């Protein structure tokens, strides 16, 4: 790896600067996605109270807004993936890099990898479900009866809460990754070892999941850490609520 020219050393500095710039950009973009998702949750709560008051027009407006915001969040996700791979892979050559073209290429790749807005569908579904349940408590959403949809708890977007290999809770994994094909989550080290071992055929280790895993499709996607954080803060809120209640009880 010894560089014989000044240009070689220069490109090392440039790579370092690009990496630190991309990681700053990436984390800004991730905060934006977090904020969008918080806004969507707030809009859901507001829409529920409008629905109670029979103000259907307002509910429709809010739903349209949620759809727009989720589309924006999908765009952000593709941008995050593009930033990530540019930071990881870019090696400046003798010619100046055309960043505009590079970004366009990486965004196109990211879009090709994910099926159309599949990531955000659960949030839209939660919104519609919450509205529907205002006047139809306990009844399935229209259209669900004939469709064979396996839904997790309505509040949680994570498919499995513990790593099937290490047995650790997903919220405690230092390095979580997710399969792009079946959406199951694992401890990175454990799943990489698992995929390397010959006698597993690389089938997803979650019981009953038939997907065959491919190393390049098992990764930490831009939504994963955000969704894990949301679960973490949800369980913290629940724990705080219980704690508050206990304190109150003791004082009484």
Q: Which residues bind Zn ion (CB under 5 A)?
A: 182, 184, 204, 206, 209, 211
Residue 143 Rama label (left phi>0; alpha psi -120 to 50; beta): left
Q: Select 206 or 226, whichever has its Cβ closest to Zn ion.
A: 206
DSSP classification of residue 143: T
Closest separation in Å from C-beta 40 to Zn ion: 27
Closest separation in Å from C-beta 158 to Zn ion: 13
Closest separation in Å from C-beta 209 to Zn ion: 3
DSSP code string of 165-195: TT--BGGG-SSEEEETTT--EEEHHHHHHHH
- What is the Cα–Cα distance from 246 to 248, expressed in whole angstroms? 5
Closest separation in Å from C-beta 223 to Zn ion: 17
Q: Select 44 or 183, whichever has its Cβ closest to Zn ion.
A: 183
Q: Select 66 or 182, whichever has its Cβ closest to Zn ion.
A: 182
**3-state SS assignment for residue 179:** strand
Closest separation in Å from C-beta 84 to Zn ion: 23
Closest separation in Å from C-beta 183 to Zn ion: 7
Which contacts of 132-139 are long-range, i.e. CB under 8 A and separated by 24 or more positions?
A: 134/48, 134/51, 134/52, 135/51
Tokens of 7: 């240009």
Tokens of 115: 């099926």
Q: Select 2 or 150, whichever has its Cβ closest to Zn ion.
A: 150
Q: Select 93 or 167, whichever has its Cβ closest to Zn ion.
A: 167
Q: Select 47 or 204, whichever has its Cβ closest to Zn ion.
A: 204
**Phi, psi dihedral angles at 54 (to 5 degrees):** 65, 30
- What is the Cα–Cα distance from 160 to 175, expressed in whole angstroms? 15
Which residue do the tokens 């010959």 mark?
A: 198
């Amino acid at each position: 790896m010894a560089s014989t020219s000044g240009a070689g050393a220069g490109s090392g500095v440039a790579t370092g600067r690009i990496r630190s710039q991309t990681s700053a950009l990436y984390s800004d973009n991730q905060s934006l996605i977090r904020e969008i998702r918080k806004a969507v949750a707030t809009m859901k709560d507001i829409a529920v109270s409008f629905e109670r008051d029979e103000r259907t027009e307002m509910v429709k407006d809010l739903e349209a807004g949620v759809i727009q915001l989720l589309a924006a969040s999908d765009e952000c996700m593709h941008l995050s993936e593009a930033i990530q791979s540019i930071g990881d892979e870019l090696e400046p050559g003798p010619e100046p890099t055309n960043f505009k073209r590079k970004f366009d290429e990486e965004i196109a790749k990211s879009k090709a990898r994910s099926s159309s807005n599949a990531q955000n569908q659960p949030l839209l579904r939660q919104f519609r479900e919450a509205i529907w349940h205002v006047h139809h408590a306990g009844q399935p959403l229209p259209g669900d009866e004939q469709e064979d949809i396996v839904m997790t708890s309505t509040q949680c977007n994570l498919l499995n809460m513990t790593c099937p290999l290490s047995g650790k809770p997903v919220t405690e994994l230092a390095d979580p990754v997710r399969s792009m094909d079946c959406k199951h989550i694992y401890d990175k080290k454990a799943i990489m070892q698992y995929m390397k071992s010959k006698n597993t055929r690389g089938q997803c280790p979650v019981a009953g999941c038939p997907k065959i895993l491919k190393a390049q499709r098992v990764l930490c996607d831009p939504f994963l850490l955000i969704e894990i954080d949301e679960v973490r803060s949800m369980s913290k809120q629940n724990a705080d609520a219980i704690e508050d209640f206990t304190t109150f009880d003791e004082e009484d």
